[in-house]
Amino acid sequence: MYTLLKLLIVSTVFFALSAMLTGCGEKSEENIPAEKLTASAVISEISSGHGHNVEIPFTDITPTPTADLFQYRSSDNTGHSHVIALSKQQMIDLNNGMRLTVISSAPSSGAAHTHIWNLFGGNVLYDKNCYNCHTNDKRGQDQNRMQATLRPLSVASQISAIISPESAPPSTTADVTPDPAFTPPAFLMDGPTLYSNYCSGCHGSLTSSTKFNKSFALIKDAITNNTGGMASLGALTDAQLEAIATVLIK
């Protein structure tokens, strides 16, 4: 009994000490992920004993989506996959932080069934705007507690959706039917190549850029305002600028 108590005290002291050492409220963020995310992984409900996950690229999650229809093929599980579809308006709703429920296509093979995906705009926005600096540490937290120059978002519904993804309003936009034969395009937005083609000449290579941690909005503003002659980059799409902003996160 006594040894148990001693163990308890020792471990409590140890935890208190390590909390002090790692520091609460330190001013630099050191929990940078080993691998940066470029997509938000959304997982289906488990039905028929298995689930699937779908990756929504950050470049698709914008206030001005570039397509009318977004389709994603899920991961394989038990030998089959499914497709989910979002309309342009549903993508806008998701980007505004709303909740949305979509039902998948039939499986690519095997016994007929579908899955339900409950998408939370708040989680997707956290993945896109916060994860690459904080991993999962600041989920549910208010970006406004962070110094103003680092805050990635200015839309109130997005900020509150990150704080509480489940209490965000549900989307009321009509569903679209996924195409069970949908094949994902091979083309993926290549941030490092875009950066080296369009930015490195003036701002240094990607490993030593003078523009680390510049948000999509700041880059877009610099182009719109012709800062340093950057109006010449006006042909880059929002999706390309998002891909560049993602690789500039350090």
Out of 56, 84, 124, 244, which residue is the one contacting ligand HEC (CB under 6 A)?
Answer: 244
Backbone angles phi, psi at 13, to 5 degrees: -60, -40
Q: In the complex, which residue's CB is closest to ligand HEC?
A: 228
To ligand HEC, the closest distance from the beta carbon of 154 in angstroms equals 11
201 binds ligand HEC (CB under 6 A): yes
Judged by CB under 6 A, the number of residues near ligand HEC is 38
For residue 145, state whether it binds ligand HEC (rule: CB under 6 A).
Answer: yes
What residues from 44 to 63 belong to the interface with ligand HEC (CB under 6 A)? none
Examine residue 247 and tell whether it contacts ligand HEC (CB under 6 A).
Answer: no
Identify the residue among 143, 157, 171, 246 touching ligand HEC (CB under 6 A). Answer: 143
- Residue 20 near ligand HEC by CB under 6 A: no
In whole angstroms, the minimum distance from the beta carbon of 94 to ligand HEC comes to 15
Spatial contact of 121 and 170, defined as CB atoms under 8 Å apart = no
Q: How far is the CB of 152 from ligand HEC (least distance, A)?
A: 5
Site string for ligand HEC, 106-135 (x = CB under 6 A): -----------------------xx--xx-
Q: Residue holding tokens 């690229």?
A: 57
Three-point CA angle 139, 140, 146, nearest 5°: 80
Closest CA to 236 of 66, 40, 121: 66
Q: Quote the least distance from Cβ 56 to ligand HEC, whole Å.
A: 17
Q: Which stretch binds ligand HEC (CB under 6 A): 5-13, 39-47, 115-123, 148-156?
A: 148-156
Q: What is the rounded distance in angstroms from the CA atom of residue 77 to the CA atom of residue 109?
A: 11
DSSP output for 34-100: SS--SEEEEE---BTTB--EEEEEGGG-SSS-S-SEEEEEPPPBTTB--EEEEEHHHHHHHHTT-EE
DSSP three-state, residue 103: strand
Structure-token pair, residue 19: 């909390």
Q: What distance, in Å, lies between the first and last C-alpha atoms of the chain?
A: 50
For the four alpha carbons of 100, 105, 106 and 108, in that order, the dihedral sign comes to negative
Element (H, E) at 245: helix 238-247
In the list 79, 185, 229, 234, the residue contacting ligand HEC (rule: CB under 6 A) is 229
User: Which of 52, 73, 99, 214 is in the footprint of ligand HEC by CB under 6 A?
Assistant: 214
State yes or no: residue 234 binds ligand HEC (CB under 6 A): no
Q: Tell me which residues touch ligand HEC (CB under 6 A).
A: 25, 27-29, 129-130, 133-134, 138, 141-143, 145-147, 150, 152-153, 162, 198-199, 201-203, 210-211, 213-214, 218-219, 222, 227-230, 233, 244, 249
